[in-house]
Structure formats: structure tokens, C-alpha cells
Chain A
Amino acid sequence: DVKVTQSSRYLVKRTGEKVFLECVQDMDHENMFWYRQDPGLGLRLIYFSYDVKMKEKGDIPEGYSVSREKKERFSLILESASTNQTSMYLCASSENSRVRMHLSNQPQHFGDGTRLSIL
């Protein structure tokens, strides 16, 4: 089974701190994603990466950055945490069907989420 591991289940930080959320997957997936989940808003994509050192902005990238130095690890960085970044953060990974030369409906596999509170 695919395993996506997020480093913390709960995290409390202060405004202005630099915050790192780590995500590791063990299935050699090309694609990795960071979402935030807020009540009534569903999941919104922050950033994604389709290869090492490659990154693309999602729908709400402001205030965030990412790093992908190794294929299995995708980090989300809050450069200067603010209270409006209090949320649940979900990491996901998936195969890239084009890279693997087959057309298939590959789902994304999710971690357990990190509930981040900014005080």
C-alpha cells in the first residue's frame, strides 16, 4: 500500500515564525501536492510538484513556498506565519501517467494531515 507520511499531526506556532511541514511518500511517485482544508471551503491546492526541484503554484500560493530536493520528500514552508494560515494541511502523491507511459486514472494518495495553529 502507498504510504504518505506527514511529520506532525498537530503543530502550534507563533505569528512571524518560519514553519516547515514535511511530507514523505514511499511509492516513487512523481507528483506531490500540498492542500489546505478549511470548513466550508473544501480542499484548496497550494503548490504541487511533478519532479525533483520542479514546482508549480496552485490556487492559493500566497504566503507559502515549497521545496522538493528528493523525489520522496515535499516540504511546505510558511515564510512568516500569520493567523490566517491556521488550518489543516494535507499532502498527497500520485503517479504521473505520462511519465509512466500509460493512460490510467491514477488517484492521489493522502497523508493524515497536519492541524496547524498559528497564535
Chain B
Amino acid sequence: AQTVTQSQPEMSVQEAETVTLSCTYDTSESDYYLFWYKQPPSRQMILVIRQEAYKQQNATENRFSVNFQKAAKSFSLKISDSQLGDAAMYFCAYRSPAWHEKLTFGTGTRLTIIP
């Protein structure tokens, strides 16, 4: 079974600075998908960014980018120019290519933005 580890329960960053959230996973599969979700205080889980394992190029969405290291099984999220609205719980998730398409989540990192 796959596992996802987020070793930083809490992080904080000064507004306008850059922060990196770490995520590692364990799998024996060679093809899979990885996601970062954000959960603000409003509680709705919002997709931030996604990465296919077969793609070597790191995904980027505006101020959000990932550092995907397949050999190291690492998938970190970098947030540039942090804004107050980035404050949230961030969850890393793994999805197998198997038919069920279910997600395995990490335990989350709570990000605080310091004005």
C-alpha cells in the first residue's frame, strides 16, 4: 500500500516571501499521479497543482510550483510571493493508475502567513 508523509505539521512564512512544503511518498508503482490540495478555513478542498509521474518537467501554476524528484520519491510544493490568502492546510496526495482512482493523503501542513 502506498503511504504519503508530510513531515512539517506547521509552517509559517512572511508575506511576499517564498516557502516550501515537503512531501514524500512510498510506492512500488512506476506510473502514478501526485496532487497538492489546499484547505482554507472555509473547509473546501481546492486543487492547487498536479503532476504526472511520467513527466520529467515540474508542474507550475502561477505562484505555485513543485519539485518532483521521482527517484527520491519526493514532491515538494513551493509558494512564491506568499499572500495572506495562502493561509490554509495543505495536503499532498498520491493516486495510483489503478482502476479505482482513489487518493492517499498525507497528514497535512498548516501554513501561516505573517503580515
Contact = CB atoms under 8 A, between A and B. Distances in A.
Interface of A: 31, 33, 35, 40-45, 48, 50, 56, 58, 88, 90, 92, 94, 96-98, 105-113
18 contacts: A33-B102, A33-B103, A35-B105, A40-B9, A40-B107, A42-B4, A42-B91, A42-B107, A42-B108, A45-B102, A48-B102, A50-B101, A56-B100, A96-B101, A97-B101, A108-B103, A110-B44, A112-B42
A70 B108 CA distance: 33
B45 interface: yes
Interface residues of B, number: 25
A99 to B, nearest CB: 10
A65 B52 CA distance: 33
Contacts of A31: 101
B44 A112 contact: yes
A113 B43 contact: yes
Contacts of B91: 42-43
Contacts of B44: 110-113
A40 B108 CA distance: 7
Given A45-B102, A90-B45, 18 more contacts: A33-B103, A40-B107, A41-B107, A42-B4, A42-B6, A42-B105, A42-B107, A45-B103, A50-B100, A88-B43, A96-B101, A97-B101, A107-B50, A109-B47, A110-B46, A111-B44, A112-B42, A113-B43
